[in-house]
Amino acid sequence: MTMISVNEFKNGLTIEHNNDLWRIIEFQHVKPGKGSAFVRSKLKSLRTGAVQDYTFRSTEKVNTADIQTKPMQYLYNDGSSYVFMDMNTYEQLEIPNAEVDRESKFLKENMEVNVIMHGSETLGIDLPNTVDLEVAETEPGIRGDTSSGGGKPATMETGLVVNVPFFINAGDILTINTADGSYVSRANK
């Protein structure tokens, strides 16, 4: 653990503050005409996912958090937790359903993800920027429709519902953005 000045903040940096682990989403150095400078920041809790605005005095120092990411393979869901395997040691790790609720809509068996750890505590998983998922169910495509001008809902193989262009049919493989769950394109086969 190392102490850094709040003037050294960077987006994505993980710090310890108020007995929690926070990832810096954004920050801004402010130098008002009167008074001392300060750093306005938006922090996301790695334990709860809550986002909070916090203002630090420019003279403050904070501890950086020692966060590791382990590449692991998603194996299966046993009903109460998601099971991942370390690909080097073959050890299995179970993460409760509640901790990966949002990410679960993008998980496919045998998919590689990064598991975020702080010491022996599991904080969650980092997904790739995009995933390829098969359309399980959608209304049939209509001839002549193009990618612009509206869309329709499609249920993916994982249960995720995505708004897609009219020409997409059940069985198509689509590339989906994991940040916001939006349609990117048809996947290259």
Equal fold, 2-64 vs 68-126: no
Determine the pLDDT at residue 149: 60
CA distance 131 to 179: 11
Q: Sheet harboring 68-77: ordered strands across?
A: 92-96, 81-86, 68-77, 112-118, 121-126
Q: Where are the domains of the chain?
A: 2-64, 68-126, 130-186
| The domain made up of 68-126 is a member of CATH 2.40.50.140 | yes
Is a pLDDT exceeding 70 seen at residue 92? Answer: yes
Q: Identify the CATH assignment for 2-64 out of 2.30.30.30, 3.40.50.1370, 3.30.70.2740, 3.10.150.10.
A: 2.30.30.30
pLDDT in tens, 9-20: 888 888 988 888
Answer yes or no: pTM beyond 0.75: no
What's the CA gap between 135 and 106, in Å, rounded? 13
Please identify which residue in the block is written with the tokens 């020409």.
Answer: 167
Q: Which among 142, 124, 128 has a CA at the least distance from the CA of 47?
A: 124
Architecture of domain 130-186: Beta Barrel (2.40)
What are 34's two structure tokens? Answer: 């009167």
